[in-house]
Amino acid sequence: MSKLSLGAYPHMLGFEQLERLLERTAKSGNEGYPPYNIEQTSADSYRITLAVAGFSEADLSITIEDRQLVIRGRQRDDGADRVFLHRGIAARQFQRSFVLADGVEVGEAIMENGLLHIDLTLMRPETVVQTIQIRKG
């Protein structure tokens, strides 16, 4: 079966970037860690909450890369001088990505009780009607 491209549809002009974004998101390999919630907090705002127990603010980074919100976590392994009888809490790194639509702005990030909250706001553009003049050729 062949892959269908948005470029195969002549009425979908200029959507090549969207197609690349969808492909990259599908390949990002977001496993199940860390678990997260996405909630709508008002008509134009959202909140992403990640469960990041054991991570400090210094262990986390939040960036926006080419219309993607990327959250990375890397714990420092200070267990070199510690002896574990059982180690069930893994100090593993993660990367979690979310595609941002046009007009979505990232607000503040808050760390609270092992949860990282990231607030997003949808900025709705005003509707613009543009008339194109037709001239004789």
Query: Is residue 67, in this structure, part of any structural domain at all?
Result: yes
Judgement on whether residues 87 and 63 belong to the same structural domain of the protein: yes
Quick one: pLDDT at residue 99? Answer: 87
- Higher pLDDT residue, 24 or 66? 66
Helix (DSSP H) and strand (DSSP E) numbers for the chain: 1, 7
Judgement on whether residues 93 and 62 belong to the same structural domain of the protein: yes
Tokens of 64: 């926006």
DSSP E strands: which ranges in 1-137? 36-42, 45-51, 60-64, 68-73, 94-99, 104-112, 115-122
Query: Is residue 64, in this structure, part of any structural domain at all?
Result: yes
Judgement on whether residues 21 and 50 belong to the same structural domain of the protein: no
Judgement on whether residues 49 and 13 belong to the same structural domain of the protein: no
Judgement on whether residues 6 and 69 belong to the same structural domain of the protein: no
* Predicted TM-score of the model (pTM): 0.71
CATH number at 73 reads 2.60.40.790
DSSP state of 8: G
Q: How many domains does the chain have?
A: 2
pLDDT digit string, tens, across residues 68-116: 899 999 987 665 788 888 877 766 899 999 989 888 999 999 999 999 9
Which range (18-22, 58-62, 84-88) has the least confidence?
Answer: 18-22
Query: Is residue 62, in this structure, part of any structural domain at all?
Result: yes
Task: Write out the residue range of the structural domain in which residue 66 sits.
Answer: 31-122
Mean per-residue pLDDT over the chain, rounded:
84
